[in-house]
Amino acid sequence: MLTKRLRIIRYGLSRALILGALIFGFLRQPQGASFNFWLIGGFAAVSAAGIVFIVAKYMNVIRSPLGIYFDLAFYLLTFVSMFSVIYWTYGTAGNFSTRLTHLDAIYFTVGTLSTAGTGSLVPVSQLARGLQTLQMLLDLGFVLVAVTLVVGRLAAARADSKSS
């Protein structure tokens, strides 16, 4: 039992470390500066690892001690963090209707993710519109994968309970 608890703690701490690094990068990245290679590489690595792990867990190739729902929540927070950093970096008055603050970048990211955009922050440059379009496409993919995983798990649990 102790080893399972240690695995859960290690797993949770590793995820907290990744999110902490993204938040640290968000707060340290100067606005209007170009991305550095390590920040872009980190986003790409986290995104690729997230896709691979979610698919592997769904196919029962690997198991996480906290389950798929925890992982979906983790990758959603990671996704919001990554796009918040991107919008903050490019959040100048030349790219948006107003210069973005840190909170504005998070607000715009969540507004795009939830499709509840209020129109108070508007991308005005081709770059900003392209980034928002990319986020919309990735959001759609994430939602489709999440719904598929949750419905699949619920259907499997229901089938197991009926056969018992």
Mean pLDDT of the 93-122 span: 90
Q: Which residue from 103, 164, 115, 107 is spatially nearest to 142, judged by alpha carbons? A: 115
Q: Report yes or no on 107 lying in a domain.
A: yes
Q: Report yes or no on 121 lying in a domain.
A: yes
Distance CA 102, CA 47 (A): 22
Residue with tokens 């900003």: 128
Question: Which residue segment(s) compose the domain that 145 sits in?
Answer: 2-154
Q: What is the pLDDT of residues 80-101, one digit of tens each?
A: 888 888 888 888 888 999 999 9
Angstrom distances, CA of residue 30 to CA of 35, 46, 89, 125, 138: 9, 21, 7, 19, 25
Q: Report yes or no on 142 lying in a domain.
A: yes
CATH number of the domain at 124, please.
1.10.287.70
Beta carbons within 8 Å of 108's beta carbon, 6+ residues apart: 87, 96, 100, 117, 121
Mean pLDDT of the 119-124 span: 90
Mean pLDDT of the 6-17 span: 73
Angstrom distances, CA of residue 152 to CA of 84, 142, 157: 30, 15, 9
Q: Report yes or no on 164 lying in a domain.
A: no
Q: Report yes or no on 91 lying in a domain.
A: yes
Buried b / exposed e across 71-90, counting CB within 10 Å, b at 16+? bbebbbebbbbbbbbbbbbb
Q: Report yes or no on 163 lying in a domain.
A: no
* pTM for this model (two decimals): 0.72
Beta carbons within 8 Å of 125's beta carbon, 6+ residues apart: 94, 95, 96
Lowest-confidence pick of 67-71, 113-117, 124-128, 155-159: 67-71
Q: Report yes or no on 144 lying in a domain.
A: yes
Q: Report yes or no on 162 lying in a domain.
A: no
Question: What is the secondary structure of 39-51 as a DSSP string?
Answer: HHHHHHHHHHHHH
Per the structure, the count of domains in the chain is: 1
Q: What is the pLDDT of residues 29-80, one digit of tens each?
A: 777 766 556 666 666 676 667 667 666 666 665 565 567 777 788 888 888 8
